[in-house]
Amino acid sequence: MENKNEISKRVLSGERIAVARAITLVENEDAWSIKILEDIYSATGRAYRVGITGPPGAGKSTITNKLAAAYRKQNLKVGIIAVDPTSPFTGGALLGDRVRMTEVEMDGNVFIRSMASRGSLGGLSKKATEAADILDAAGYDIILMETVGVGQSELDIAGAVDTTIVVLVPESGDSIQAMKAGLMEIADFFVLNKSDRAGADQAVMSIKMILNFKPKKNGWQADVIQTVASEGKGIDKIVETIYLHRKYLEDSNKLNDKRQKRMVNRIQELVKEKLHFEFWDETRENFLQLNIENVVRKELTPYDLAEKLLQNFKE
Amino acid sequence: MENKNEISKRVLSGERIAVARAITLVENEDAWSIKILEDIYSATGRAYRVGITGPPGAGKSTITNKLAAAYRKQNLKVGIIAVDPTSPFTGGALLGDRVRMTEVEMDGNVFIRSMASRGSLGGLSKKATEAADILDAAGYDIILMETVGVGQSELDIAGAVDTTIVVLVPESGDSIQAMKAGLMEIADFFVLNKSDRAGADQAVMSIKMILNFKPKKNGWQADVIQTVASEGKGIDKIVETIYLHRKYLEDSNKLNDKRQKRMVNRIQELVKEKLHFEFWDETRENFLQLNIENVVRKELTPYDLAEKLLQNFKE
């Protein structure tokens, strides 16, 4: 299969092993990956992409599992991408995989892939999007992208999916705190998981109160769904709300706008990478190395040196 | 003071309010910030920069506090930059600030600044480095840069400092897991905090065992220091080890190499930003907008469109 046309062809026919191989090439930033992504591009856009984010321990993996099972009952093919920007400290990606495998194991219509950020220099959400494209082109109907909410990652995921779900738990602490800073903007709806625990009603109330302050996006009002995912409670309601949100996006033509905006960002990223790659040829690398000593010795500022390098590029 | 020469001058004379203002300009990516950074650049490089990273709850803030107090006893001026990539879910930056304030409050020779990533599009480690430059130029002797270890951030901080400390606790779980994936490379030494708790000896043993597998960096052997930071135990040992590591770097000329490498990365980042900024003029923005519909309709791939945009740039 080590032929990129062959891989592309097999991805398009939905071959599991080719999908796995293609995602690995994407993950390794292999030169082939961009060719495969080009080959399959026209077959993308059919899958619906759902992002699931929230703090560690909120039960995102369990919810993702249960959602996968629910969609399987509708006979849909499900792709799961677990984006794990948490560090070696937690080992989250690996554990997540194992938990998931016991649940949806052996079902040829569920494809699971964890992508961790270990050591790689960013670009995780780009890679996750490319992996989603591969699953999309391979005929997966629903793609669930799960990420732990740390800093930038939950904002990135919102830019990569059609519907974003933010999962909280009663003990997430101050829900008002949790609502701040971008979360209000990215959540299409909230899930309060483990809502059989103490403090659930109060947490729901706080979230609703804050949601009421939010101007309604003409026609869509974010809400809170209570779940006990480990017992399967509330999962149907999530499925229904995803459906309603999708319908809202489609009917208002917002889905198209959203995907267009996503594509603009992606093209800008592609250009940025390419520019960087083309800029740093041998001549400029050498020029940088020759002058860096002067910067360290404070005879030249880094801003001056950057300017000199750029001057030469433009001429 | 709203004059950039004025701010630079006052930063250089160590005026606290000017330092605060300059860091705010850096944080807001104000156009002035680059001019101020240029002005002060030749006065940087005197401060010693220490990075402190580790999982949430390991006691990084307490250690940072106590280190600041210890350095104050040596009559050194201390800058603290708390880089907080954790999301709204934790509210870490704010809490961290409050904890710190009670300890080193009112001391004009300690400057504390939290930088959170909320909503901003990356670039946090760049901004933290620029803030450190300002503190450096203002005459702070030691700059402590603290960040919670989530994904990329702990690797970024190692690239921004002279000495990197990784803080763990006995209950960090599998220390072998914690050692994997880049942490071995970035830690100049480890601190096992809360080492009065159960499992401390075993954790130290595991860390030491793994450290023994690591080839010694000619002359420097990373070790583990046990602390109970809340009681001040082991802080002196950290100060001593930072001193020894600094001496090792200076004597072997590795400090210069390290700073040179840091500067190379920084110049590459500056160039990348500038290229991006110059590339996206009105013509190209329009070209992108005109053609994006075709990409969404699958008549053109994003890769083709990026290529077309770049082609036109090179001609």
Residue of chain B nearest A154, judged by CA positions? B87
B98 in a domain, yes or no? yes
Portion of chain A with pLDDT greater than 70, in percent:
80
Q: Starting at the edge strand that comes first in sequence, how are the strands of the sheet with A189-192 ordered?
A: A110-116, A78-84, A142-148, A48-54, A163-168, A189-192, A224-226
A85 in a domain, yes or no? yes
Within B158-274, strands assigned E span: 163-168, 189-192, 224-226
Contact B154/A87, CB-based, under 8 Å?
yes
B291 in a domain, yes or no? yes
A257 in a domain, yes or no? no
Residue of chain A nearest B94, judged by CA positions? A177
**What is d(CA A143, CA A125) in angstroms, rounded to the nearest whole number?**
14
Contact A89/B276, CB-based, under 8 Å?
no
More confident residue, A203 or B135: B135
- Token pair 């897991």 is at which residue? B177
Q: Is the pLDDT of residue B175 over 70?
A: no
**Quick one: B25 and B156 in the same domain?**
no
Q: Which residues of A141-167 are buried (b: 16+ CB within 10 A; e: fewer)?
A: bbbbbbbbbbbbbbbbbbbbbbbbbbb
pLDDT at B154: 55
Contact B183/A88, CB-based, under 8 Å?
yes
Q: Is the pLDDT of residue B189 over 60?
A: yes
Contact B85/A37, CB-based, under 8 Å?
no
**Quick one: A298 and A227 in the same domain?**
no
Contact A260/B54, CB-based, under 8 Å?
no
Q: Is the pLDDT of residue A193 over 90?
A: yes
More confident residue, B33 or A105: B33
**Quick one: A21 and A104 in the same domain?**
no
- Alpha-carbon gap: A300 to the closest alpha carbon of chain B (Å): 8
Select from B252, B271, B294 the last residue of a domain. Answer: B252
A273 in a domain, yes or no? no
**Which uninterrupted H or E stretch holds A114?**
strand A110-116
Residues of B within 8 A of A295 (CB-CB) are 263, 267
**Quick one: A51 and A190 in the same domain?**
yes
**Quick one: B97 and B53 in the same domain?**
yes
A270 in a domain, yes or no? no
**Quick one: A163 and A64 in the same domain?**
yes
* A78-94 pLDDT tens trace: 999 988 655 444 444 44
Q: Is the pLDDT of residue A249 over 80?
A: yes
**Quick one: B27 and B56 in the same domain?**
no
Domain containing residue A60: CATH number? 3.40.50.300
B257 in a domain, yes or no? no
**What is d(CA B83, CA B85) in angstroms, rounded to the nearest whole number?**
6
pLDDT at B244: 97
- Of A89, A118, A295, nearest to B55 by CB-CB distance is A89
**Quick one: B198 and B285 in the same domain?**
no
**Quick one: A197 and A156 in the same domain?**
yes
B259 in a domain, yes or no? no
Number of domains in chain A: 3
pLDDT at A68: 94
Q: How buried is A33 (Cβ within 10 angstroms: 0-12 exposed, 13-18 middle, 19+ buried)?
A: buried
**Quick one: A24 and A48 in the same domain?**
no
Residue of chain A nearest B305, judged by CA positions? A267
Within chain B, strands assigned E span: 48-54, 78-84, 110-116, 142-148, 163-168, 189-192, 224-226
pLDDT at A211: 80
pLDDT class for A106, splitting at 50, 70, 90? low
Q: Which domain holds residue A304?
A: 280-314
**Quick one: B18 and B92 in the same domain?**
no
**Quick one: B12 and B144 in the same domain?**
no
CB A240: neighbour CB atoms within 10 A?
11
Range name among A142-146, B274-278, B300-304 with the lowest pLDDT average: B274-278
Q: Is the pLDDT of residue B235 over 50?
A: yes
